[in-house]
Amino acid sequence: MIELDGLTKRFGAKTAVDHLSCQVRPGVVTGFLGPNGAGKSTTMRMILGLDHPTGGTVRIDGRHYRDLEEPLKYIGALLEARGLHGGRSAYHNLLCLAQANRIPESRVTAVLGLVGLSAVAKKKPKSFSMGMGQRLGIAAALLGDPRILMFDEPVNGLDPEGIHWIRNLMKALAADGRTVFVSSHLMSEMALTADHLIVIGQGKLLADTSMADFIQRNSRSYVRLRSPDRERLLDALAAGGLTPADAGGGVLEVDGVSTEEVGELAGRNGITLHELSAQRASLEEAFMRMTADAVEYQAHGDPAAPPPGRPRWGETSGFPAKGV
């Protein structure tokens, strides 16, 4: 388990991480979400003892990183900026790490096999594609067979096959009872991978919730309607106790009702409908709403951007969310 308690990091006047308290538990994939600059990498660096907190504490299975004798046996990490030695072979890179952490050499061969790099073990990482480099970084993280794994934006720059592979690997590690903490700025990616979510914005905790709960609370469903008898439709909806929202372009949206109910209500009143469809706001939109005030660098004047506090109406989610 990873425990953060009041964790704070300031760089001069900039507070990158602001009194962050949460726990990352074993047996599930925990997604660490936040817009660019939210403080995810800084938090992960503090967990690994690479940045010193301005305040608060981090504990890894109850201990500070600096007190772990052979840290790779407790926690393995893939950080964006962690480079391996380009001039040594993949095998020797891992062997050096293994020797420094008193890990048997047999693990080097094992993890290279696990990440699918056995055939290129003698090659130097500088000749590797981005995906191969990520796999080698993951092999390094797995080397000490740690119970805790941390991945910072692991799918960045990967092709679909690589993304699929990393997702399955993270799920398998969690299913094995390990603690898996993975950062991303993409809700859509997390929805496919994470069981639990920790969301931050401007270094502050915005949400600490199960993915199922987040989906249930944020995937608003509604019915979208268009009719040439708009005024009569509005009256009929009002008489039925329904309050539609005007989405512009003649479109009405009604929450908390099924298409069947609206269709029958229109039919009973002899009202023609030109559109009647069930819609669901995507989790990406919910995430954007949640973090809207916390986005560090925001594009202004984007006509496609949803207005603050309101989803982009009229869009059916193509979101392949679990259990939705």
- Amino acid sitting at position 316: T
CB of 80 to ligand ATP, least distance (A): 7
Q: Which is nearer to ligand ATP, 43 or 279 (CB)?
A: 43
CB of 180 to ligand ATP, least distance (A): 18
CB of 158 to ligand ATP, least distance (A): 16
Judged by CB under 6 A, the residue of 104, 172, 296, 298 near ligand ATP is: 296
Torsions phi, psi for 96 (to 5 deg) = -60, -45
| Torsion (CA) 191, 205, 14, 12 in degrees, nearest 10 | -120
298 contributes a contact to ligand ATP by CB under 6 A: no
Judged by CB under 6 A, the residue of 8, 30, 41, 219 near ligand ATP is: 41
Judged by CB under 6 A, the residue of 20, 28, 40, 136 near ligand ATP is: 40
Stretch that binds ligand ATP, among 35-43, 130-138, 160-168, 248-256 (CB under 6 A): 35-43
14 contributes a contact to ligand ATP by CB under 6 A: yes
Cα distance between residue 245 and residue 240, in whole Å = 15
Encoded tokens for 236: 């009929």
**Cβ–Cβ < 8 Å for 149, 76:** yes
**Could you tell me how many residues of this chain bind ligand ATP (CB under 6 A)?**
13
CB of 247 to ligand ATP, least distance (A): 32
**Cβ–Cβ < 8 Å for 240, 263:** no
SS3 at position 288 = helix
Cα distance between residue 130 and residue 218, in whole Å = 34
Judged by CB under 6 A, the residue of 42, 134, 227, 291 near ligand ATP is: 42
- Taken as a whole, the chain contains a residue count of 324
Torsions phi, psi for 182 (to 5 deg) = -130, 130
| Torsion (CA) 130, 136, 141, 146 in degrees, nearest 10 | 140
Residue 323 CB contacts under 8 Å (≥ 6 apart), including other chains: 212, 215
Cα distance between residue 150 and residue 148, in whole Å = 7
Stretch that binds ligand ATP, among 9-17, 125-133, 208-216, 240-248 (CB under 6 A): 9-17
31 contributes a contact to ligand ATP by CB under 6 A: no
Judged by CB under 6 A, the residue of 37, 53, 131, 154 near ligand ATP is: 37
77 contributes a contact to ligand ATP by CB under 6 A: no
Encoded tokens for 189: 């990616």
36 contributes a contact to ligand ATP by CB under 6 A: yes
What is the binding site for ligand ATP (CB under 6 A)?
11, 14, 16, 34, 36-42, 185, 296
